[in-house]
Amino acid sequence: MDVFTSLMDGFATALTPMNLLYAVIGVILGTAVGVLPGLGPAMTVALLLPVTSVLEPTSAFIMFAGIYYGGMYGGSTTSILLNTPGESSSVVTAIEGHKMAKAGRAAQALATAAIGSFVAGTIGTTLLAVCAPIVVKFAVSLGSPSYFAIMVLSLLAVTAVLGSSRLRGFASLGLGLAIGLIGMDSVTGQRRLTFGQPLLTDGLDIVVVAVAIFAVGEALWVAAHLRRTPLNVIPVGKPWMGKQDWKRSWKPWLRGTAFGFPFGALPAGGAEIPTFLSYVTEKRLSKHPEEFGHGAIEGVAGPEAANNASAAGTLTPLLAMGLPTNATAAVMLAAFTGYGIQPGPQLFESQGPLVWALIASLFIGNFLLLIINLPLAPLWAKLLQLPRPYLYAGILFFATLGAYSVNLQAFDLVLLLVLGALGFMMRRFGLPVLPLILGVILGPRLEGQLRQTLQLSAGNPAGLWSEPIAVGIFIIVAIILVWPLLLKLWRRSRPQTAMASTGGSDGTGTANGTDVLPEDAAAELPADNVTTPAEHAYSNNEPVHSRRRQEKP
């Protein structure tokens, strides 16, 4: 009832012509960058931060929401038409989607992805609207010890669970935390890591860091390894589905949603695990298991729904607790801070209209995606043909523009280049980018909570575990940390499974020596037994990643 009225107010705000326009811009922009290689929703939101600073926060976030959902959708188009997923979350879609496209069923694959995304996005957003206030009720009862613990958990989870090498994840996190330290300490006014440079006193602008790592690093990295052979894009008409396709799609959509939302809401849940689980489930339950591997529509419908539902799930901890669990959410958090809005449980209280307008705009954005993208699919396919020199020169151009326009000082461009070189190096040596970004954004907040906690306990470290929730979370943190050790012991007792799951968790990242062809990897993946979701994630992390990284020559 309360939720409903708030939501209706949100719709009233979001449906004003101006805000509707921003939603349309966001959705189109988001889909475009989702389709275009080298650009993702996180980078786009980061690039737009300076531009949107002149907008009302509500309008800006309505646009960001459109970009976020649009980016998720655009990724599936690339997967289906090109077989080269840009985001790790659309890896699974490529398995069946590209096969369908090759068999002349690209239109149906795109349609089930679009409609599935709509269904999942709508259900996911409804769940967000219902769950977020409940999470808030729980979150306001938490003190700084619990917050500290939750932040530690989300940093560790992203670092240790995602990605193929924990060691490299922690290295990236360390770099991010160090970057986050730069500037004046908020409590004592001490200058840290500024080297007497007055321009560093206010710390590094998050826009500069994000744009450097995502955009400049990516452009330089691609430039070093630019594919000179033209990509083979499968031409496509207007997406449509027959009666049989609908019949085979609707259940996977719903099941995919059920997988996606909870995983998205978890710290480090992400979209990779639920899309994968959805694929495995659909393969099991399908009446046409023989079609899997040759273009089964269920294998597109389920994972795409899971992907979009997890996007909605991600917004739950972001809005209810101020906790980002993926790169786009992290940049959106930076945007909140840029507007002087403190994200956290008070957000619903203090910025109620903004939050509900944002949630309403998610519904609207979803609907827009459906009605805009079904007819525009052929156009998006054309976008894939954009000459690469223009694309990457354009990324550099707008990265420079975005970073420069924040403070109008050339020094920021020097930082942009230096951090861009860091981003290049990280891509070269397999350091994941997400822990660094989260470290930069969450690091200072983490330190704030730590100092507040110990201030309350008068310097007694026992203050850190003075709340039961905090204790529980620290236990989970401990489990995450010792998990690889437990896994090793467990493997030793069951030697058969040991071979199947090396590399994912031992931090050496050596499993990539094998020349697994995409097809082989894809065919082998679902054959593993599903145990627990977490265990499954571990045992399959490596093949999924290597599939993403080792493209067909």
Partner 1 sequence: MSSLATKLKGRSELGVALLLGAAGGLVLWDAAGLVTPYSKSDPVGPKTVPYLVAGLLIVCAVMLAINVLRGGHGEAEGGEDVDLTHPADWKTVLPLVGAFVANILLIDWAGWVIAGTVLFWGSVLALGSRRYVRDGLISVALSLLTFYGFYLGLGISLPAGLLEGIL
Kindly identify the residues of this chain, within the stretch 228-247, that bind partner 1 according to CB under 8 A. 228-229, 231
- Contact call for residue 18 and partner 1 (CB under 8 A): no
Euclidean distance between CA atoms 3 and 6, whole angstroms: 5
Q: Which of 15, 18, 45, 50 is nearest to 29 (CA)?
A: 45
Euclidean distance between CA atoms 118 and 479, whole angstroms: 36
| CA atoms lying within 13 Å on the CB side of residue 271 | 32
Which of helix, strand or coil describes residue 268? coil
User: Residues touching partner 1: how many (CB under 8 A)?
Assistant: 87
**Both structure tokens of 525:** 């993946």
- Contact call for residue 198 and partner 1 (CB under 8 A): no
Q: What is the closest distance, in whole angstroms, from the C-beta atom of residue 543 to partner 1 in the complex?
A: 12
Q: Which of 133, 293, 394, 484 binds partner 1 (CB under 8 A)?
A: 394
Q: Which of residues 506-535 bind partner 1 (CB under 8 A)?
A: 507-510, 512
- Contact call for residue 98 and partner 1 (CB under 8 A): no
- Contact call for residue 168 and partner 1 (CB under 8 A): yes
Q: Which of 393, 475, 517, 534 binds partner 1 (CB under 8 A)?
A: 393
- Contact call for residue 413 and partner 1 (CB under 8 A): yes
Q: What is the closest distance, in whole angstroms, from the C-beta atom of residue 188 to partner 1 in the complex?
A: 5
Q: Which of 15, 140, 234, 417 binds partner 1 (CB under 8 A)?
A: 417
Euclidean distance between CA atoms 295 and 94, whole angstroms: 10
Q: Which of 21, 414, 482, 534 binds partner 1 (CB under 8 A)?
A: 414
- Contact call for residue 408 and partner 1 (CB under 8 A): yes
Q: What is the closest distance, in whole angstroms, from the C-beta atom of residue 429 to partner 1 in the complex?
A: 4
Q: Which residue, 95 or 360, is less far from partner 1 as judged by CB?
A: 95
Amino acid at the residue 64:
F
Q: Which of 76, 78, 89, 541 binds partner 1 (CB under 8 A)?
A: 78
Euclidean distance between CA atoms 553 and 550, whole angstroms: 8
DSSP-derived secondary structure letter, 192: E
- Contact call for residue 445 and partner 1 (CB under 8 A): no
Q: Which of 24, 167, 469, 500 binds partner 1 (CB under 8 A)?
A: 167
Q: Which residue, 79 or 286, is less far from partner 1 as judged by CB?
A: 79
Q: What is the closest distance, in whole angstroms, from the C-beta atom of residue 408 to partner 1 in the complex?
A: 7
**Both structure tokens of 302:** 């389920």
CB burial of 380-404 (b: ≥16 within 10 Å; e: otherwise) equals bbebbeeebeebbeebbebbbebbb
Find out whether 334 and 148 touch, Cβ atoms under 8 Å.
no
Distances (CA, A) of 335 to 51, 55, 186, 340: 11, 12, 19, 9
- Contact call for residue 429 and partner 1 (CB under 8 A): yes
Amino acid at the residue 314:
T
Euclidean distance between CA atoms 551 and 127, whole angstroms: 36
Q: Which of residues 452-511 bind partner 1 (CB under 8 A)?
A: 454-455, 458-459, 507-510
Q: Which of 104, 390, 485, 529 binds partner 1 (CB under 8 A)?
A: 390
Q: Which of 138, 240, 397, 490 binds partner 1 (CB under 8 A)?
A: 397
With CB under 8 A as the contact rule, which of the stretches 60-68, 125-133, 204-212, 398-406 interacts with partner 1?
398-406
Q: Residues 6 or more apart from 455 whose CB is under 8 A from it?
A: none
Q: Which residue, 176 or 344, is less far from partner 1 as judged by CB?
A: 176
Cα 212 to chain centroid distance, Å, stands at: 18
Q: Which of residues 282-321 bind partner 1 (CB under 8 A)?
A: none
- Contact call for residue 173 and partner 1 (CB under 8 A): yes
Distances (CA, A) of 494 to 114, 358, 369, 487, 489: 42, 49, 48, 10, 9
Euclidean distance between CA atoms 308 and 258, whole angstroms: 11
Q: Which residue, 254 or 396, is less far from partner 1 as judged by CB?
A: 396
C-alpha dihedral, 161 to 165 to 168 to 169, nearest 10°: -10
Q: Which residue, 136 or 219, is less far from partner 1 as judged by CB?
A: 219
Q: What is the closest distance, in whole angstroms, from the C-beta atom of residue 86 to partner 1 in the complex?
A: 5
With CB under 8 A as the contact rule, which of the stretches 22-30, 140-148, 246-254, 389-397 interacts with partner 1?
389-397
Residues 201-230 vs partner 1: string with x where CB under 8 A? ---------------x-xxxxxxxxxxxx-
Cα 363 to chain centroid distance, Å, stands at: 19
Place of tokens 């038409």: 81
